[in-house]
Every structure is written in structure tokens, then in C-alpha cells.
Chain A
Amino acid sequence: MMLKPVMCHEVCIGCSCCLLSCPVWNRTRDRSLTAQGRNKALQGGATVEDISNAIDSCILCGACEPNCPEGNDIVGLTIEQRGLLNMTRKGYPSWYPATEAKPTKGVRLQYKEVTLLAGNALKNDKDLCEAVLKLLGNKSITASDDGSDILRSMEAGLQVDKSRIDDFIYPLNSAGPLVVAEGGLRRHLKEWLPDKKIAGLGEALLSIDSIRRSLGPDDLYVIECRGFHSDYARLVRFYDRVRLETGVQLNLDLQRIAIPTGASSIQASEDLEAAGCIEQVKWILYGRKVSRIIVENLADIDAFRRVTDIPLVHVALLA
């Protein structure tokens, strides 16, 4: 597993700012399950085993990070804590990935074009994937290896063989701009390919005039939160411009943090409700007058469908 050095729990000053956007806090109202609770407990001498519930509760949406006045790498810290916890676990939670990321065997390609890292959900929806590729331009291609297994393993704090990551990155080195559908991968790609131009799927598609023009004040546009928070300083301004230009409603809270559904978390892959996604969707919709919901992340569609019959559409289908 390649973990970048994280600032340790000692950095936490206990201000509670991270709580304000935390979906686990919203659902449980239990401070001990939040980043603040974990850090303060560790400062007080707790072991990772003591706080295992808190470590496992986190859905790694990253909403806490832009709120942290100390700039603490909370997602990185949580992944590291999961790694430490894995060393002493007797059994993994049921939502842990069934297989670990293993080195691939095959021919190493080298991409040259705009490269879409589609992720499992988009790859499985072939028509939509085709539509996305068309929108990204004639020369765009889908990467055959999109690193989904790496992402899942890293989220779970599992060891990922360095050669597996090398295999994944190698063809991307020569690629054109990357368009990444799974937001969770972006924070790692930023580290592995620091000079590469990397955009989220939503950002790439919203750069197309016809898509932006089709948005209006009655629409609720649901930003994929993990990618958004991993490049917050830049993207908060990008989406703010979209809001100003189109009047579209966004799933941002007052701090301009994307309210996560949690649907792309590994916990939600087993049980949307237990992962708190339904509550989160209800909160996103609370008090809003909306006639259409547009999502960047396919996983969000299922979560919204369980709560509302407002028409749902993927951003790629707006063109």
C-alpha cells in the first residue's frame, strides 16, 4: 500500500468544524464516531482497536477536510488508521472488498489521448459510457484498467502491491488529460501523477456549452463529493461559476462543501441505508423546490430513487 505521509492525529485542535459537514455526525449525532472524536480519543491514549467503530464508520467523503482550519489530511489519516486496524483485526467488516488488488498480467499499453477512467458503474453501463466518450471528443478512449480495485483496497486500508499501482499508472503517464469518474481515485492520482491534468467527469462534461446551457434554477445538480473535496480550492470556484451562470441548485452546504450521499462508499456497496445514504439524500432535498435531479455519479441514482420520484438524469445525458 502506498500511503502518503499524513499529519498525525496530534494536529487536531478539537474545534468541531469537521463535524459540521460530516454525514456520520448527521446520522448518529455521536461525536465519538467523527474525525474529531477519533483524534481526541487518540490524543487521550486510545488505541486504534478502541476506536475501530469510528474508523469503520467513516465513508471517506472528504467533506471534513476543507473545513479543517489546521489543514489536516483527515482522509489520509483515516485510511492509515484502517491500515493499522487491519493488522490486528480478527475479521474484516462485511463491506470490505472481497478480493485485494493484485498485479495484472498482460501487455502494457501507452495511452496518448484524453483518457476516461470510467469506474465500475459507468463501465457497466455501456451506452452511457459511449455517450460520455463522444462528449469528451473523438480522440478520447476508455482506459481498460481504471484502478477501481486499487481504490477499493486503499479505502479499506488494505495493502496494495506497488507493482499493481505501477501497472495502473504506467499507461497513464503518456496519456492526455485524464477524466476520472470515481472521485476517490483523484486524491491518489494527484499524488502519483502530479503533473498530469486531471478532471472529474462532472467538471469535464460541464465544460461543454450545451450541457451547461441545459441547466436551470429548477434543477438540482449533485456534485460527486470525493473528487470535489480532493481538489476543493479549485473546484469550489468552478462550480460556483456554474451556479452563477445557470442558476442551478447545487448540493453544497453553507460552507460550500458538497453534501455527500455516501453512495460511492464501500459501506454503501453492501447496504445503502446502513451507510446513511437515505438520510443524506433526504437532507440534500430538504426544503428544496426541484423539478429534475442531475447526478455526476451513477451510484447516486439508486440512492435518490429510494427517496424521491423527481426525474433523475446523468449529466452526460443533458447534451
Chain B
Amino acid sequence: MKFTSVEKGCIPPCNVAPNSLMGVPRVQTNPSRWHGDGWQGFVEELKSKGVVVREEKWERSIFVTDAGGLAFGLPHGVVRPSSSEDVSKVLIAAQTHLVPVITRGGGLSSEGEAIAFGGLLLDMTSMNRVLEVDRENMTVRTEAGIFWHQLAEVLRRDGLDYLSAPLNMTSTVGGVLGVGGIDINSPRLGCSADQALALRVVTPTGEIVECSGSENSDLFERVLLGYGQFGVITEATMKIRPFTHIKMRYLYYSSLRTAIEDLQLIVREDASDYSGILTVMDSAINLLVAFDSDGREQEFDARWRSRLRGHGEVSFGVRLALYYALHPWRIKEALYIVDRRMKMVPEFFRPEFMREGKIEDRTVVFSRAVWKFWGGRQMVIPDLSASAEKFIEAVERGNAVCRKYFRYYTLYCVGIKKMEDLPRYEMSCMPPGATDFAYGCEFEPMLKDKDYSRDYLQSFKNEIYDIGVDMGLSYYRFGGMMKGYIRRIFGDEMVDRHLEMKRKADPAMILNPDVIF
């Protein structure tokens, strides 16, 4: 292992210390706060260039934590850029004055990746204009700080829609392209980043560069799923499609293994347009499939429905009732499932979002439900990403960890199409060994109405992540507080290679220093 000596007062070249977990295997690796040297000179330079830096504490405190709510940090100042040029000025000055710059979109990270532990926070949501909708080529050019929901609002006026985005209205385009993004149509369309055709990127040294698969493709591939290490995405051109209502179907299982096997069958054979698994613990497992057209649904019924082992809701409800009648000591769990069902199901069938049995604006329906039923002041969502062969074991082991730590939790599983062997997938959520498809599972305890210590929650996350190390998997979220896992999961050779690229691109190592490197 190579150690580079770090001059006191400088930003270390590698925050992914090879021994970061040594001796403290169950403790989070919180970054230390930047000391603030050089800040005043940095601010003065930006002011002289017309960039407004907001330094009032109350403005900075808006960004004190992220959706995870477990890490906390205050930037020294906040800039709300209005153009790529603003971002460029910030990064050029940051290289000179050695000031860390943290980019933030929707702030929906759960491991502190979007938190500034000192330095400057770039609130990218100020760059949220849709620049051009090209109906002929079915593309949209947008500023990258836009919320996916805002983009949908604009596209819908033209009867259009984006291809794929996480089921959360308040994540931003730039943030999602930087980490991948998973939707229930990822089995067909890949991760959300795969819909990007071209980007405008401000490099860590302040160059404004247009890149795509054919132009500056190295940068393009590094920035997509690059966790903000190689540049700030300020504009994106993405594929779009005609808007459709979707028809949802639900199948219910009592066995995780059976449900996952059926999910994999659906994904492998392209049996539906959307698919995923959502559970109430491992007791009520819901495999959802959905269709953009009646034709696809009919094909599903004719070719695949009989091969799937899931039950309808009534049939499953009877089975569940029988089970709990024979296991009366688990009555609280039964009541929880019933209560969850009674509250959640109406939310998915609100009449104002239903048209002839189909959901209009599924992202709104799902996202509202996500915040209402899974959101909260703290969100702990460790995950595992595996090849098809290893996925069932990974989920079963993760489920056992959930059972050990929490009475109530949810698992969310989805398949992800791997487009080709693109460089962007290296050191990303795409696990080694995945060929055509990868699979991801999020393990989310229900934290509402109960307080847990941070150590308890962290220990839970570590146990899930340890499964990833043990089985040779990957994660959706491996930055921020979890970066101590990066070398363990990706290995020294890959990490050192990326670190070398990072050093070249970002000599002062100032861009998003607490995320990966």
C-alpha cells in the first residue's frame, strides 16, 4: 500500500485511507472539517469576478444535512450559480486557494455526500432551466440543477416524458447522472445516467467542456456515475419519449427467494416495461409489474403470468391470515402489515391520478408515497448491488441483518440493464461479474416513531456493507461516510487508477473531497 505524505494544512490527496476501517470496523468514517485557511482570499477573488458568496449562517444552515440526516456539516459559504461560467470561476479560484467545493443538487444522498464539511457549497438547483426540447430528435437539453419533476412538468406540456429517473421528484438531473439513478424501468432502459447523450461539464480546474460519446468521450465516461469527482455537470442533453399512462399489476409472495426468481425471469425475458419488488419485512412481498401499452400487458398475460408464482391480493391475504392465525405471537407484525396496506394502497389509487385503471404521472404517485411512508428526518438505506447469480443470497443475507436490527423494514429490489461494458460502470454501482443485468436491493428500516442511536444505525449499515465485501458485490452508495469501504470493495488496483485520474483532473483535490477521494 502506498502512502503519500501530506503537508500540514493541505488537503490530503487521498481521503480513502487504506486503513480507514482498521481497528474501527464498525464505526463510520466521518470526514474532518476543513480548517478555513485561504477562505477570505477565495471569497474576495469570487466577489471581484461578480460571484455572490452567501456567508450568513442562516443561509448556510439550510444545507447542514442531507436526506440521510445522520451526517452534519456547515459550509463556509454558499454559491448559487446561474451559469457554467459561475461554476468555472468558483473552481478556478478554489484550485488557487485550496478551498474544497461541494456540489449539491436535491441533497438526497444518505451518507453525507452532499454535505459540506467546511469550504464552499455549490447549490446547483439554481441552474434549473429547460433549454431546448427537440421533438424531432426526441431529446431535451436542460440545466443540470433542475429537479426531475420540474423537467417532467415542462416536457408534459408537449406530451413528452423523460426516460428514467429515481422515484423521487426532488432529485436533480445532475445529481442523478453523477451517481447512476435507478427506476423501475431500469431493467429495460439501464440506469438513469444511460439516457444522457451529451453534457456540459466544468472540470475541477474550471474548463467548460462539451462532451458526449463522440466528443471528449473520456470525460463523458468519467463524469457519468463519477460521483462528482471529475467535474460539475451543468447542462445535459437526454433522450425523451412520448408520455404514457401505465397499468400497474401487483403479485404477492411470502417467500423472498421465489419473488426474486420471478423478478429475474421478468427482467431476463423482458416480460414487462417496469418491474420491481417492494416488501413489508419479508412477510408480505410485492412484485410489481407495469406496462406502457395494452399490447404489452396482453403479451405478459399470455406468455408469462402463468409462469409466475405470485398470488392476487385476496388469495394472498387469506394465506397471510391463516399464517398469523397459526402464529398468534406474531400478531403485532400482522397488524402492522394490515395497517400499512390500509394506508398505502389508497395512495397508489388516488382517483385524480387514475385514468381508466391506469396511473397518470406515476412518478408523482410513487414519489409522494415514498416521502409519506418511507421518508423522515433520518433515512438509513444501505444497499447491495449484485450480479444475477449472487443476488438472491445477497438479499437473503441482508434481510437477516434487517430482521436482527429492526422490527419493521422494507426491501426494494430492482433489475438494471447493463448497456455495454462502458468505462462509466467501472467503480460504480455496477457490480463485477454482472453481464446483461445487475440487481440492486435497498434495505430500509422504518425509523418513524422510534429513536435509534447513530451508532446502532451505523452498525446496521456496516453489517449490510460487510456482506458486499464478503460476496464481492457493489453498492449504490459507497461515498461519504461509507467511503471506508471503497478500497475493500473495489480493490487497490482500481482505486489507485481512479485516484491517479482524479489527481490529474483535480490537482488540488478540491472538488467533492468528502465523497470518494
Interface residues of A (CB under 8 A from B): 13-17, 19-20, 29-32, 36-37, 40-41, 43-46, 50-51, 69, 236-237, 240, 253-256, 286-288
Contact = CB atoms under 8 A, between A and B. Distances in A.
B157 A45 contact: no
A15 B371 contact: yes
B62 A17 contact: no
A172 to B, nearest CB: 31
A92 B61 CA distance: 27
Given A16-B106, A286-B154, 6 more contacts: A13-B377, A17-B371, A32-B58, A32-B62, A237-B351, A287-B154
A255 B352 CA distance: 9
Given A16-B107, A44-B62, A46-B57, A287 B371 contact: no
B64 A29 contact: no
A240 B351 contact: yes
A44 B352 contact: no
Question: Interface majority SS on A: helix, strand, loop or mixed?
Answer: loop
A20 B150 contact: yes
Contact of A288 (B65, B126, B157, B376): B157
A17 B170 contact: yes
A259 to B, nearest CB: 9
A44 B60 CA distance: 9
Contacts of A31: 62, 80, 123, 125
Interface string B78-96: 0010000000000000000
5 contacts: A14-B67, A15-B170, A16-B147, A20-B150, A236-B352
B498 interface: no
A142 to B, nearest CB: 33
A29 B126 contact: yes
A254 B152 contact: yes
Contacts, number: 96
A254 B62 contact: no
Contacts of B157: 286-288
A29 B128 contact: yes
Contact of B368 (A44, A69, A236, A288): A69
B61 A41 contact: yes
A45 B61 contact: yes
B375 A37 contact: no
A14 B63 CA distance: 9
Given A16-B106, A254-B153, A32 B170 contact: no
Interface string B357-370: 00001001001100
Nearest to B64: A44
Interface string B238-262: 0000000000000000000000000
A45 B60 CA distance: 11
Nearest to A20: B149
B511 interface: no
B80 A30 contact: yes
Interface string B128-148: 100000000000000000010
B158 A14 contact: no
Contacts of A37: 62
Contacts of A286: 154, 157
Given A46-B58, A46-B61, A254-B361, A13 B375 contact: yes
Interface in B350-405: 351-353, 361, 364, 367-368, 371-372, 375-377
B169 interface: yes
Contact of A50 (B58, B156, B352, B361): B58
Contacts of B62: 31-32, 36-37, 40-41, 44
Given A40-B61, A237-B351, A255 B371 contact: no
Interface of B: 54, 56-65, 67, 69, 80, 106-107, 123, 125-126, 128, 147, 149-150, 152-154, 156-158, 169-170, 351-353, 361, 364, 367-368, 371-372, 375-377
Given A14-B67, A29-B126, A31-B125, A255 B364 contact: yes
Contact of A30 (B126, B149, B156, B368): B126
Contacts of B152: 254
A15 B170 CA distance: 7
Given A29-B80, A237-B352, A287-B157, A20 B61 contact: no
Contacts of B65: 14
B67 A20 contact: no
A20 B372 contact: no
Contacts of B153: 253-254
B156 A19 contact: no
Most central of B69, B107, B169 by chain A CB within 10 Å: B169
Nearest to A10: B377
A37 B56 CA distance: 13
A254 B363 CA distance: 9
A129 B156 CA distance: 37
Contacts of B353: 256
B107 A14 contact: yes
Contacts of A43: 61, 64
B117 to A, nearest CB: 15
Nearest to B65: A14
A160 B80 CA distance: 39
Given A16-B107, A19-B170, A69 B61 contact: no
A78 B496 CA distance: 52
B123 to A, nearest CB: 6
Nearest to A11: B377
Contact of B364 (A13, A15, A16, A254): A254
A46 B74 CA distance: 14
A46 B58 CA distance: 5
Given A15-B371, A253-B153, A287-B158, A41 B352 contact: no
A113 to B, nearest CB: 33
Contacts of A51: 58
A308 to B, nearest CB: 15
Contacts of B60: 44
Report, nearest first, the 9 A-B pairs whose CB atoms are least far apart. Answer: A44-B61, A287-B157, A46-B58, A69-B371, A16-B170, A41-B58, A40-B62, A240-B352, A50-B58
Nearest to B371: A69
Contacts of B377: 13
Nearest to B158: A287
Contacts of B352: 236-237, 240, 256
B398 to A, nearest CB: 25
Contacts of A32: 54, 58-59, 62
Contacts of B61: 40-41, 43-46
A17 B364 CA distance: 10
Most chain B CB inside 10 Å of its own CB: which residue of A14, A236, A288? A14
A96 B31 CA distance: 47
A52 to B, nearest CB: 11
B248 to A, nearest CB: 17
A15 B375 contact: yes
A45 B126 CA distance: 24
Contact of B125 (A17, A29, A256): A29
A50 B54 CA distance: 13
A75 to B, nearest CB: 19
A17 B154 CA distance: 17
